[in-house]
Structure 1
Amino acid sequence: MTYPTPIVFVVDDDISVRESLESLIRCEGWEPETFASAREFLARPRTLVPCCLILDVGLPDLNGLDLQKCIASDRRDMPIIFITGHGDVPMTVKAMKAGAIEFLIKPFGDEALLSAIRQSIERSQVMLRREAETGTLRHCYTSLSPREREVLVLVVAGLSNKQVGAELGISEITVKAHRGRVMQKMEADSLPDLVKIATRLRLTPAYRA
């Protein structure tokens, strides 16, 4: 999969830091976007390109750790690199436990930051790829009929065709027909493949023991 130029977002209220990082990022071939506050950054629509966020902890409106919480659920494809001039162990531990890639204390070397950015962009690419694959699977799932969806969750729960038929009140031959269409529509080559897909889509077995 080919991606557009990765974006490196920078949120820091110090204009000299923003300008310095912008120049460094651009020299490496990435696209920098800088913001003076967390709220300014949050107003920027999400972009589906490989990216990462260089985030200052001490911001004037919403601090870096609070911003990390705000974007944790809907921007998981955007790894965070924290930078600060006043770091401590509890702050670092909190940020890293919440998923930060790196926590750098100012002043830090260019290579330390660039290494963290490279790692972040690689992770972002992986997450975007997974998100796209899951989107494709969801599209395949929506093509199933209600009955085919019932058959799917029962089959991946480990029921035989006979048991599925008894559960749904249909013949074993009908189950086989539905099962074949499910495999085709979900582009599954085998039952283990179908189980993996169901797990990916978090489908809950409907079998009543």
Structure 2
Amino acid sequence: MSESHVVPDQQIYIVDDDEALRDSLVWMLESSGYTVSAFDSAEAFLAAYRETFSGCLVLDVRMPGMSGLELFEELGRRRCTLPVIFITGHGDVPMAVSALKKGAVDFIEKPFGDQEMLRLIAQCLEQERASRSKRKLEADTARRLEHLTQREREVLDLIIAGKLNKQIADVLGISIKTVEVHRARVMEKMGAHSLAELVQHVVTVEPAALGR
């Protein structure tokens, strides 16, 4: 993998009690341009974990103490958004499949090839970037919605409902020109350049808005 595909603020977090495998993964991933942090136990990772972690987690299913699955479930309770790839032995496949049903991205069986792991890593990082962008857009939209006046919010709801300016004016008992002024302010405050963009932004935060 070329370093041009590596995003500086994303890291690969490896949690595995097998020192040889851990060191091998670290060497392979760092050679491919990634920043890597490795932990020998689930407990060690949890002690270091911060909500600001970005990238993906490569996690062994079976470890002494807290297992990989138990760590995965604990991270879920903490609303961790890191995509997770499980490393499994042959006998652990049913557990890995169970983890997939709970939101893990994939699992990889030992022994595995470098290219297979790199492919999964790239997939996870792309997913995490897209997910982060979506969360950022949702937070920005929610913040912008809070800055609308009550009348602007009423106009917005009617716009989302597909009402024309004349219909909005009739519903709210105001002039069409006043509707146009409010509509322009709504577009400006929401940072939208088109009606389609406005609707798309709002329904990501408030899906029920379309049904109003």
2:174 and 2:196 map into 1 onto residues whose CA distance is 24
Please point out which of 6, 11, 21 is paired with 2:25.
21
Q: Which residue does the alignment assign to 1:182?
A: 186
Verify the 8 A CA contact 1:56 1:83 in the aligned structure 2: yes
Q: Which residue does the alignment assign to 1:74?
A: 79
Q: Which residue does the alignment assign to 1:84?
A: 88
Verify the 8 A CA contact 2:10 2:35 in the aligned structure 1: yes
Identity %: 41
Q: CA RMSD in A?
A: 2.7
How far did residue 5 of structure 1 move? 4.7
Mind listing any 5+ residue stretches in structure 1 that lack a counterpart?
A: none
Aligned letter for 1:8? I
More helix by share: 2
1:207 and 1:124 map into 2 onto residues whose CA distance is 30
SS in 1 for 2:13: strand
2:119 and 2:7 map into 1 onto residues whose CA distance is 20
Which aligned pairs between 1:80-159 and structure 2 lie closer than 5 A? 80-159=84-163
Is the counterpart of residue 191 in structure 1 residue 195 in structure 2? yes
Verify the 8 A CA contact 2:202 2:209 in the aligned structure 1: no
How far did residue 88 of structure 1 move? 4.5
2:135 and 2:166 map into 1 onto residues whose CA distance is 35
> What whole-Å deviation, never above 9, does each CA across 1:158-206 have from its counterpart, x for those lacking one?
2333443454454443332211110122122332222111111226439
Verify the 8 A CA contact 1:154 1:207 in the aligned structure 2: no
1:161 and 1:167 map into 2 onto residues whose CA distance is 10
Verify the 8 A CA contact 2:160 2:210 in the aligned structure 1: no
Instruction: Identify if the C-alpha distance between structure 1 residues 36 and 170 changes in structure 2 by more than 3 Å, giving closer, same or farther.
Output: farther
TM-score (norm 2): 0.80
Q: Which residue does the alignment assign to 1:46?
A: 51
Instruction: Identify if the C-alpha distance between structure 1 residues 165 and 205 changes in structure 2 by more than 3 Å, giving closer, same or farther.
Output: farther
How far did residue 9 of structure 1 move? 0.2
Instruction: Identify if the C-alpha distance between structure 1 residues 149 and 201 changes in structure 2 by more than 3 Å, giving closer, same or farther.
Output: same
Aligned letter for 2:118? L
TM-score (norm 1): 0.81
Stretch deviating more after TM superposition (136-145 or 17-26): 136-145
How many residues align structurally? 205
